[in-house]
DNA sequence: CGTGCTAATGATAATCGTTGTCAAAAGTAA
DNA sequence: TTACTTTTGACAACGATTATCATTAGCACG
């Protein structure tokens, strides 16, 4: 049985506050800076639980960190992210949304959600 | 100036021998088992060079390893993943690949790569 | 051929994200 | 309350990767 603790709530709330993907360490640092005394291991555990409950997406960044994002099934958007400076551009993806839903239903998968993000080098960092 | 060494050749040859993705450690182990005395750090460096030269693809596995594959542009694919049991279905995404590249170039981003994964509940887990 | 310069190697130490450990603290049902 | 059990958190441990640095060996060029 999963118990309700203020730590889990704090992690969930802070994750929902974030616009994009965050690392466990980053989220922990944010919480601590805000005056929330919470252990790093607890943040890792809370995020792992959120991800396995389907309340968060997770993916591996190219430098080996696990990144998390609050799972928004309603209105979510995608990002084009510069891997050098972190600059992001919001992108329209209606066609891809539809494609993702179709792939899922073609394979009889339900409760579909997806992680679609594009990375690259922005013009300024390309030189 | 990049010098030619038998170690780099050994890594490249062995990588081309492999059918799918391999980790640096795995490739090193294979080489050593075959009687090739080569250092682990050298394998890491050779693979990183191959990847940055565009001769190999690299990606992060879900357990945090960097995996390498000799570059074959026709075998890039994405996954439909059951978030309950982990069962995965490989999916073709040629149209989405093209879309991702277009989004990147429309915004003058170069060296594009993307994270596209679809999650859901497979038929068995849906009940 | 040497000879000199310097990139590459490899054993090992260091780093970094993450997970395991375990005693203490706190949620929950009675 | 009480009893039981999960969760927490400080810290140790772990595994993949990277840095260090003395040694080795490509690769011009004489």
Q: Which of residues 33-62 of B touch strand C (CB under 7 A)?
A: 37-42, 45-46
CA pair distance A10, A51, nearest whole angstrom = 15
If one looks up domain A6-70 in CATH, what number appears?
1.10.10.10
* Domain spanning A78-120: CATH 3.30.565.10: no
Residue B20 CA and nucleotide C1 C1' are separated, in Å, by 46
Strand D proximal to A88 Cβ, under 7 A: no
Domain boundaries, chain A: 6-70, 78-120
> How close does chain B come to A54, measured CA to CA in Å?
7
Residue B116 to residue A112, Cβ atoms within 8 A: no
Please determine, for residue B92, whether its predicted confidence score (pLDDT) is greater than 90.
Answer: no
3-state secondary structure of B94: helix
Question: Can you give the pLDDT at residue B73?
Answer: 55
Average pLDDT over residues B70-86: 70
Please determine, for residue B84, whether its predicted confidence score (pLDDT) is greater than 70.
Answer: no
The b-or-e profile of A72-105 (16+ CB within 10 A means b, else e) is eeeeeebbbbbbeeeeebebebeebbebbbebbe
> How close does chain A come to B115, measured CA to CA in Å?
5
Strands A110-121, A78-82: parallel, antiparallel or unpaired by DSSP? Answer: parallel
Residue A59 to residue B114, Cβ atoms within 8 A: no
- Is B6-70's fold the same as B77-120's? no
Question: Can you give the pLDDT at residue B43?
Answer: 97
Record: fold of B77-120: Dna Ligase; domain 1 (3.30.1490)
**A89, A118, A123 member nearest B112 (Cβ):** A118
Q: Per residue in B51-67, pLDDT tens? A: 888 788 787 877 788 98
Contacts of B104 in chain A (CB under 8 A): 80, 118, 120
Average pLDDT over residues B89-98: 86
Sign of the C-alpha dihedral computed for residues B105, B107, B113 and B117 taken in this order: negative
Question: Can you give the pLDDT at residue A73?
Answer: 55
A23 CB within 8 Å of a chain B CB: no
R_g of chain A computed on alpha carbons: 16
Residue B61 CA and nucleotide D12 C1' are separated, in Å, by 26
Q: Which residue has the higher pLDDT, A60 or A12?
A: A12
> How close does chain B come to A61, measured CA to CA in Å?
7
Average pLDDT over residues A13-28: 92
Range with lowest mean pLDDT among A8-12, A44-48, A85-89: A85-89
Strand D proximal to B40 Cβ, under 7 A: yes
Nucleotide nearest to B3 (CA to C1'): D26
Average pLDDT over residues B92-115: 88
Say if residues A64 and B64 touch (Cβ distance below 8 Å): yes
Residue B60 to residue A57, Cβ atoms within 8 A: no
CA pair distance A67, A44, nearest whole angstrom = 11
> Which of A49-53, B5-9, B71-75, B84-88 has the highest mean predicted lDDT (pLDDT)?
B5-9
Please determine, for residue A113, whether its predicted confidence score (pLDDT) is greater than 50.
Answer: yes
Question: Can you give the pLDDT at residue A74?
Answer: 47
Q: Per residue in A25-46, pLDDT tens? A: 999 999 999 999 999 999 999 9
């Amino acid at each position: 049985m999963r118990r309700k603790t203020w730590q889990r709530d704090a992690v969930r709330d802070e994750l929902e506050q974030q616009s994009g993907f965050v690392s466990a360490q980053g989220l922990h640092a944010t919480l601590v800076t805000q005056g929330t005394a919470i252990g790093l291991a607890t943040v890792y555990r809370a995020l792992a639980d959120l991800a396995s409950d389907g309340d968060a997406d997770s993916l591996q960044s190219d430098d080996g960190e696990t990144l998390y994002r609050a799972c928004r099934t309603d209105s979510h958007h995608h990002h084009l992210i510069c891997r050098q400076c972190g600059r992001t551009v919001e992108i329209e993806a209606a066609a891809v949304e539809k494609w993702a839903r179709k792939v899922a239903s073609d394979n009889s998968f339900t409760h579909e959600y997806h992680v679609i993000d594009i990375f690259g080098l922005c013009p300024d960092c390309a030189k």
